């Protein structure tokens, strides 16, 4: 926050940095940020919940981002989403919908625990997720 | 740096590169990275050491070479060719220059995918390392900025841009020169230059590839704009979802500032220009200019009514020039080669080139740059190699959630702003997704409407409530539960959103529906009247089928 001179206009930058440090933005954390930047807490919460990338809850142990950009959707991204949700029923996964990860030439794509799986089928995704969760 | 030291650095780097026997460039942009480019690079590095070729052969990263579906791609300067689907196992042969082994996987300049392109914006991609400042300098980088600062007045720069007839590459196609003139005319002391790098269309990765592959070009374009309109501060609003582009931009910015090409007292003149990066946090609406400005100010990205337009009252109430990444990337070449040169490329009404992200059901998918006005048929069949065997072309979708589709009968349409608007779609930022007969157009319209519904900021009611209503109708249709009155309702809601929404998101949200209704009405009718999906995509329940 000091880097941005405690300026309210740097709120989004500060939220990015805080999320990187703590993994998610808890209510207490948001309150502290509001105080330090001299902003009303409502403004800080409002901005946090407006943007998709900010999380107010912690992620689970594993994370899969299913790309649902147009190319991936047309190539079966919807089915991948269903497959991922089936595996996630065990409670260990956070499943997110990605808005185009920029690998449209290799559609459909899913990022499974940081690893990009390209031209992936629902069966293969399920297999990879189980491998990832049990390793 | 001064003009002399830039020239000296350029010569030194060119000589250094010419002494190398081979320079191996590995694509290090999203697509190739996700299929193992890093490992290929590391293995080549090891092989250079193992074969004792250090000093003779060099390996480095580079920007997107285009053929993403055949990645990872590697270019060799000695072979003057690109190799496709390179694996770590190929590294030894590559370093030993045993290029004959790759004959089947070699892409030379006369290959239809490359021969049909004209690469201005992507001219360094495949030739220079985006992380090395001197690579950009060696390829005439920052020469245009030097000219703009030392030899041209701001008025002359604006005149040159006007002469080029460059139109904004963000999608709307507003003449760039006019916009610059508007900002330049404002009497205000404080002005801003903003680069809109919030490329949010699903299925579009042109801007991201430009930023990842040639970040200095965008910085140079912005600095020239700063000089032309009288701004001292620039902001790049980058998309939070592309961390690599942000990292490359940051590193390029640091290098340029360290070398004194950006910042204070450039080239020993009184011109100074700073650039800061602002990272978005995943809100599609922030691509809209007033929402983007609100987001830079640290607020929720909600648009405000225009006028006043940003050239009059923008960031913190000051005159602000906003252009898209690709627009800025065009600027250095225009300043260097002149507006007339640029105006002679592509279509007369909209000169220059356009980068398209070609994806979907096409043999060769990736990034292509063609003169504006090239027909869709040429892009799809000559460059893209057509639709794979066993599939049949149905439509190409352009312009993302704000655009529309191009059906078979319009395959010969020249890809320029006005022709595309004429057939009910738009140029957009450059996403081009090919669909075959297994894609359902009703579901596609539903998909885009769901996107707009999610991304609507909620400020104005037509967009907030209208997108939900339209999505409900489309979702019902894809379940086989549509009713006859839905057609009239869809058309009425489309008109309502188009006329009364506050910003571009709501105004354009009905476009995919209008476009698919226009070209594929029979598919909608099959869903509603016969309770079946002609493409065989939608899951229509048995109860709904029985109802038909």
How distant is the alpha carbon of residue B278 from its chain centre?
A: 18
- The backbone torsions φ and ψ at residue B467, rounded to the nearest 5 degrees and listed phi first, read -65, -35
What confidence category does residue A104 fall into, taking pLDDT thresholds of 50, 70 and 90? confident
Residue ranges per structural domain of chain A: 2-50, 62-133
Residues B334, B402 share a domain: no
Structure tokens given for B449: 């409407």
CB contacts, 8 Å: B298 with chain A: 7-13, 47
Residues B503, B432 share a domain: no
Q: Is the pLDDT assigned to residue A70 strictly greater than 80?
A: yes
CB contacts, 8 Å: B33 with chain A: 116
User: Considering Cα of B206, then B212, then B217, then B223, what sign does the dihedral take?
Assistant: positive
Q: Which of B203, B404, B435 to mutate to test the interface with A (most CBs of A within 10 A)?
A: B203
* Nearest chain B Cα distance for residue A86, angstroms: 19
Kindly report the length of chain B: 548
Subunit contact A50:B201, Cβ cutoff 8 A: no
The verdict on residue B40 lying in a domain is: yes
> In this predicted model, what pLDDT tens digit does every residue of B372-416 receive, in sequence order?
999 999 999 999 999 999 999 999 999 889 999 999 999 999 999
The verdict on residue B129 lying in a domain is: no
Compute the count of residue pairs across chains A and B with CB atoms less than 8 Å apart. Answer: 131
Check which CATH number belongs to the domain holding B20 and give it: 3.40.30.10
Q: Is A13 on the interface with B (CB under 8 A)?
A: yes
Which of helix, strand or coil describes residue B459?
coil
Of B343, B364, B398, the residue that ends a domain is: B343
* Number of folded domains that form chain B: 4
> Which residues make Cβ contacts (< 8 Å) with residue B135, sequence separation at least 6?
B13, B60, B124, B128, B129
* Nearest chain A Cα distance for residue B20, angstroms: 32
**Tokens 């042969």 belong to which residue?**
B93
Q: Is A122 on the interface with B (CB under 8 A)?
A: no
B/e letters for B158-192, b = 16+ CB within 10 Å, e = fewer, are bbbbbbbbbbbbbbbbebbbebbbbbbebeeeebb
Quote the CA–CA distance of B426 and B508 in Å, as a whole number. 10
Q: Is A119 on the interface with B (CB under 8 A)?
A: no
Instruction: Please state, as a whole number, how many other Cβ atoms lie within 10 Å of the Cβ of residue B483.
Output: 12
Stated as kind and residue range, the H or E segment containing B39 is helix B37-50
Check which CATH number belongs to the domain holding B459 and give it: 1.20.1440.230
Structure tokens given for B323: 């252009």
Residues B82, B148 share a domain: no
Q: Is the pLDDT assigned to residue B340 strictly greater than 80?
A: yes
Check which CATH number belongs to the domain holding B294 and give it: 3.40.50.11540
Largest CA distance in chain B: 81
Mean pLDDT, residues B105-124 taken together: 96
The verdict on residue B102 lying in a domain is: yes
> Which residues make Cβ contacts (< 8 Å) with residue B276, sequence separation at least 6?
B233, B234, B235, B236
Q: Is B435 on the interface with A (CB under 8 A)?
A: yes
Residues B495, B392 share a domain: no
Subunit contact A105:B359, Cβ cutoff 8 A: yes
Of B436, B466, B482, the residue that ends a domain is: B436
The region that residue B80 occupies, defined by phi over 0 for left and psi between -120 and 50 for alpha, beta otherwise, is: left
Residues B339, B222 share a domain: yes
Q: What is the pLDDT of residue B548?
A: 59
The verdict on residue B2 lying in a domain is: no
User: Considering Cα of B519, then B525, then B528, then B530, what sign does the dihedral take?
Assistant: negative
What mean pLDDT, rounded, does chain B reach? 94
Q: Is B394 on the interface with A (CB under 8 A)?
A: no
> In this predicted model, what pLDDT tens digit does every residue of B4-45 receive, in sequence order?
999 999 999 999 999 999 999 999 988 898 889 999 999 999
Stretch 17-46 of chain B: residues touching chain A, C-beta under 8 Å = 29-31, 33-35
Percent of chain B having pLDDT more than 90? 89
The verdict on residue B4 lying in a domain is: no
Residues B427, B452 share a domain: no
CB contacts, 8 Å: B357 with chain A: 104
Kindly report the length of chain A: 135
* Nearest chain B Cα distance for residue A88, angstroms: 23
Residues B431, B449 share a domain: no
Stretch 61-80 of chain A: residues touching chain B, C-beta under 8 Å = 68-71, 73-75
* Nearest chain B Cα distance for residue A101, angstroms: 8
Quote the CA–CA distance of A135 and B494 in Å, as a whole number. 50
The verdict on residue B1 lying in a domain is: no
Q: What is the pLDDT of residue B210?
A: 95
Options 3.40.50.720, 3.40.50.620, 3.40.30.10, 1.10.1030.10; CATH of A62-133: 3.40.30.10
Q: Which domain holds residue B166?
A: 140-343
Percent of chain A having pLDDT more than 70? 100
Q: Nearest-CA residue of chain A relative to B243?
A: A101
Quote the CA–CA distance of B509 and A52 in Å, as a whole number. 19
Subunit contact B298:A12, Cβ cutoff 8 A: yes
Give the DSSP letter string of B346-391: B-SSSBSEEEEEEEES-SS-EEEEEETT-BHHIIIIIIT--SPTT-
Compute CA distances B392 → B97, B362, B415, B442, whole Å: 41, 10, 21, 18
Q: Which of A56, A70, A98 to mutate to test the interface with B (most CBs of B within 10 A)?
A: A70
Q: Which of B27, B28, B31, B316 to mutate to test the interface with A (most CBs of A within 10 A)?
A: B31
* Nearest chain A Cα distance for residue B178, angstroms: 30
> In this predicted model, what pLDDT tens digit does every residue of B63-84 receive, in sequence order?
999 999 998 999 999 999 999 9
Q: Nearest-CA residue of chain B relative to A114?
A: B34
**Tokens 């007369």 belong to which residue?**
B348
Task: Of B114, B85, B103, give the one whose Cα is nearest residue B385.
Answer: B114
Q: Nearest-CA residue of chain A relative to B440?
A: A74
Subunit contact B200:A99, Cβ cutoff 8 A: yes
**Tokens 């930022």 belong to which residue?**
B429
Mean pLDDT, residues A24-47 taken together: 95
What is the ipTM metric for this complex?
Answer: 0.91
Structure tokens given for B1: 């740096």
What confidence category does residue B219 fall into, taking pLDDT thresholds of 50, 70 and 90? very high
Residues B368, B327 share a domain: no
> In this predicted model, what pLDDT tens digit does every residue of B154-205 receive, in sequence order?
999 999 999 999 999 988 899 999 999 999 999 999 999 999 999 888 888 8
> Which residues make Cβ contacts (< 8 Å) with residue A9, sequence separation at least 6?
B296, B297, B298
Helix B441-455 and helix B461-478, axial crossing angle in degrees, nearest 10: 150
Quote the CA–CA distance of B478 and B407 in Å, as a whole number. 21
Of B436, B459, B480, the residue that ends a domain is: B436
């Amino acid at each position: 926050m000091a880097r941005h001179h405690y300026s309210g206009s740097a709120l989004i930058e500060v939220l990015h940095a805080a999320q990187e440090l703590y993994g998610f933005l808890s209510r207490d954390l948001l309150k502290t940020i509001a105080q330090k930047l001299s902003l009303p807490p409502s403004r800080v919460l409002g901005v946090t919940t407006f943007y998709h990338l900010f999380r107010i809850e912690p992620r689970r142990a594993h994370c899969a981002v299913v790309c649902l950009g147009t190319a991936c959707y047309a190539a079966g991204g919807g089915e991948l989403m269903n497959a991922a949700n089936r595996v996630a029923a065990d409670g260990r996964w956070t499943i997110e919908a990605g808005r185009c990860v920029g690998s449209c030439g290799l559609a459909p794509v899913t990022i499974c625990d940081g690893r990009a799986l390209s031209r992936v089928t629902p069966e293969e995704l399920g297999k990879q997720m189980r491998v990832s969760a049990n390793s | 740096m001064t003009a002399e030291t830039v020239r000296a650095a350029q010569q030194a780097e060119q000589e250094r590169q010419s002494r190398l026997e081979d320079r191996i460039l590995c694509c290090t942009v999203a697509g190739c990275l996700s299929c193992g480019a890093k490992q290929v690079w590391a293995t080549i590095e090891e092989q250079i050491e193992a074969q004792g070729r250090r000093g003779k052969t060099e390996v480095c990263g580079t920007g997107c070479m285009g053929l993403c579906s055949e990645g990872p791609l590697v270019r060799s300067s000695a072979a003057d060719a690109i190799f496709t689907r390179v694996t770590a196992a190929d590294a030894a042969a590559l370093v030993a220059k045993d290029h004959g082994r790759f004959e089947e996987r070699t892409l030379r300049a006369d290959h239809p995918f490359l021969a049909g392109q004209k690469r201005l914006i992507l001219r360094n991609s495949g030739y220079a390392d985006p992380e090395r400042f001197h690579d950009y300098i060696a390829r005439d980088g920052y020469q245009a900025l030097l000219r703009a600062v030392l030899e041209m007045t701001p008025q002359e720069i604006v005149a040159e841009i006007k002469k080029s007839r460059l139109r904004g590459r963000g999608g709307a196609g507003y003449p760039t020169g006019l916009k610059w003139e508007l900002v330049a005319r404002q009497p205000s002391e404080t002005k801003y230059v903003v680069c809109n790098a919030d490329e949010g269309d699903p299925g579009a990765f042109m801007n991201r590839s430009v930023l990842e592959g040639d970040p200095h070009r965008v910085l140079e374009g912005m600095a020239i704009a700063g000089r032309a309109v009288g701004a001292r501060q620039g902001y790049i609003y980058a998309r939070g979802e592309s961390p690599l582009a942000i990292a490359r931009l940051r590193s390029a910015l640091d290098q340029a500032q360290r070398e004194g090409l950006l910042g204070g007292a450039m080239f020993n003149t009184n011109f100074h220009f700073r650039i800061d990066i602002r990272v978005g946090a995943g809100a599609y609406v922030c691509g809209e200019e007033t929402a983007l400005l609100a987001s830079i100010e640290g607020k929720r990205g909600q648009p405000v009514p225009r006028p006043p337009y940003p050239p009059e009252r923008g960031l913190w109430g000051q005159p602000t020039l906003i252009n898209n990444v690709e627009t800025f990337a065009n600027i250095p070449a225009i300043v260097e080669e002149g507006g007339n040169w640029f105006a002679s490329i592509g279509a007369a009404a909209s000169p220059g080139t356009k980068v398209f992200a070609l994806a979907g059901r096409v043999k060769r998918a990736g990034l292509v740059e063609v003169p504006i006005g090239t027909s869709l048929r040429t892009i799809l069949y000559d460059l893209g190699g057509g639709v794979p065997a066993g599939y049949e072309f149905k439509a190409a979708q352009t312009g993302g959630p704000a655009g529309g589709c191009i059906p078979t009968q319009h395959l010969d349409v020249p890809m320029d702003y006005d022709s595309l608007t004429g057939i009910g779609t738009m140029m957009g930022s450059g996403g081009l997704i090919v669909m075959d007969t297994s894609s359902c157009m009703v579901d596609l319209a539903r998909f885009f409407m769901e996107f707009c519904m999610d991304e609507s900021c909620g400020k104005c009611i037509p967009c907030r409530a209208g997108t939900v209503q339209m999505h409900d109708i489309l979702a019902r249709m894809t379940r086989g539960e549509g009713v006859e009155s839905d057609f009239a309702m869809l058309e009425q809601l489309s008109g309502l959103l188009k006329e009364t929404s506050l910003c571009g998101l709501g105004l354009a949200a009905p476009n995919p529906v209008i476009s698919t209704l226009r070209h594929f009405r029979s598919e909608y009718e099959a869903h509603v009247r016969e309770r079946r999906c002609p493409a065989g995509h939608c899951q229509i329940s048995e109860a709904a089928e029985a109802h038909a």
